[in-house]
Amino acid sequence: MRSRAAQRAFADSLRPVPLLPTRLVAPAALAVTAAEAGIVLGLGWSVAAVVAGWATARAGPPSCSSSPACCSPS
């Protein structure tokens, strides 16, 4: 992600991989870069959510006090 030259160098490093056709080297390098960036951003967001104590990050099953239907006999 630093520069096009760095992205090209990464793509060139994938050329020796025998399972990857030559025409797919550049798109595969771009996909790997995007996936890695997404993972880093997602993990950062998740850590921020837990640290902030956001309910959606720590939501669990409803308790009986919030849902009387789960406490009533069947």
Q: With bands split at pLDDT 50, 70 and 90, how would you rate the model's confidence at 67? A: low
CA distance 17 to 2: 23
Coil, helix or strand at residue 59:
coil
Nearest to 33 by CA among 41, 43, 22, 44: 41
Give 34-58 pLDDT, tens digit per residue: 999 999 999 998 888 888 877 554 5
Higher pLDDT, 38 or 61: 38
